[in-house]
Amino acid sequence: KNQVEQSPQSLIILEGKNCTLQCNYTVSPFSNLRWYKQDTGRGPVSLTIMTFSENTKSNGRYTATLDADTKQSSLHITASQLSDSASYICVVSASNDYKLSFGAGTTVTVRA
Amino acid sequence: DAGITQSPRYKITETGRQVTLMCHQTWSHSYMFWYRQDLGHGLRLIYYSAAADITDKGEVPDGYVVSRSKTENFPLTLESATRSQTSVYFCASSRYRLYEQYFGPGTRLTVT
């Protein structure tokens, strides 16, 4: 069964600090991996998407990495802002299926 | 550009009642999806549709019915609501099968 595991479940950081979120997956055959940001009370919004051949993808202060050999991805948030407080969801697609495999998400709280 | 909308945003209903959640998208995307999101779980697929008049079950379809007579609309009906269907429901759409899914704002449903 295709699975996506995220860690930590939640974290609290001070404004201006950096943090890294982890995603491990067993989805096969791999097609692409996305990181979504979900603000409280809203739907998820895509931050980055990476295919097999991409190791790093940036979107402003968000940088995602992918190691397709170890089936691991990370999302690094640089110089965090209060608006970064949200749930971050790792989503993996298999090339032979329409369905997406969702992680349970990491809740990030940024404090002033 | 309205994008993807859901209605109602909040709904409280009683056990045994029929409830319909609406989803509308303005992009003419072929694919539309219904998910539920519960604490401790990732988003779980209820039903999806590849085109008008084509629907199929997802991971957790029991107790739900969908239809898609028009490309832009994808209503989800709970024929006889149960407390276990208390959840936040998200509709999503994508242009092609493995392309990015765009999520609506969600409907918070409480079944008493």
Please name the residue of chain A whose CA is at the shortest distance from the CA of residue B94: A98
Contact B98 A95 (CB under 8 A): yes
pLDDT of residue B100: 85
Residue type, A16: G
Report yes or no: B97 at the A interface, CB cutoff 8 Å. Answer: yes
Please name the residue of chain A whose CA is at the shortest distance from the CA of residue B101: A46
Average per-residue pLDDT for chain B: 94
- Tell me the per-residue pLDDT of A23-34, one tens digit each, with 9 for 90 and over: 999 988 898 999
Residue A60 has pLDDT above 60, yes or no: yes
What does DSSP assign to residue B100?
P
Task: Judge contact between A101 and A3, C-beta under 8 A.
Answer: yes
**Considering just the CA atoms, what is the radius of gyration of chain B in Å?**
13
Residue found under tokens 């990491």: A106
- Tell me the per-residue pLDDT of A90-105, one tens digit each, with 9 for 90 and over: 999 988 877 789 999 9
